[in-house]
Amino acid sequence: MDQDNHKLVKQVYEAKTDSHAADELISAYMPFIRSETARFINRPPQPEDDELSIAMFAFYEAIKNYSRLKGSFLSFAAMHIKNRLIDNYRKEKRSKGLISLDSPDEDDNELIDSISDSRDEYRENEIREATQTEIRELSAQMEDFGVSLSDVADNSPRQKRTLAACQKAVAYARSHPEILEDFLRTKRVPLAKLAECTGAERKTLERHRKYLVAVLLICTNGYEIMRGHIMQVLKGGEIT
């Protein structure tokens, strides 16, 4: 880690427990926050834009949630900002149908729909690009564990019982940060520990080790879009 990155990580850790330090760090990185917001909305953000406020809060969340195990802070913060903006976009998209109920004129509806469609197309592209970026980053991380995306597809649990066992193991690991830290450090899934603490059969977890590697990496590195995709792919499954 170079000197500048080391200094930034030190500032982030100070900001975790010092609100004044957090405010100073946010102020110092406002150009970065504006830049990430502009990439999403395709224009320079204005002070009154909701997206800018969301991005600032996401940066603060990134400070609170960051650890050295998650790599570069700015990469982590950029992903956090993008994910929060995507979440907001999806909420807006779900509620945009309410606009037409208040529109007095059919032509107005068509204009609103046209504007919405244009914004939707751009943001859908952003979501697609963000997803592709997450997939590339996840694939690179999984290589360190000797796992590929095709391995995960072949290794995913198909039965409710085995899926439930894997979910319990993931939930337990997520609630015990020391397990996740050990997982990232050793690049090994602590199968014996997870089996003992969740009541799952070790053989079941062993059969789905590669799947567990992928899900644990997703849970430790903020891959929120990928988490959503996995929830859809697994039959009724959910990463909680």
Spell out the domain ranges in the chain: 3-95, 149-233
What is the number of alpha carbons within 13 Å of residue 154 lying toward its C-beta? 6
Greater pLDDT, 81 or 128? 81
- How confident is the model over 85-110, as a mean pLDDT? 59
Q: How far is CA 112 from CA 94, 105, 108, 199, in A?
A: 15, 11, 6, 54
For residue 230, the model assigns a pLDDT of: 56
- How confident is the model over 169-177, as a mean pLDDT? 90
Residues 220, 225, 226, 231: is their CA dihedral positive or negative?
A: positive
Q: How far is CA 174 from the centre of its chain?
A: 14
For residue 2, the model assigns a pLDDT of: 54
Whole-model pTM? 0.52
Greater pLDDT, 121 or 119? 121
What 3-state DSSP class applies to 119? helix
Q: Is the pLDDT of residue 90 over 70?
A: yes
Question: What is the band of 227 on the pLDDT scale with cuts at 50, 70, 90?
Answer: low
What 3-state DSSP class applies to 177? helix
* Class for the domain spanning 3-95: mainly alpha
Return d(Cα 82, Cα 79) in angstroms, integer. 5
Q: Is the pLDDT of residue 133 over 80?
A: no
Return d(Cα 75, Cα 30) in angstroms, integer. 15
Q: Is the pLDDT of residue 83 over 80?
A: yes
Which of 71, 2, 65, 62 lies closest to 32 in space, CA to CA? Answer: 62
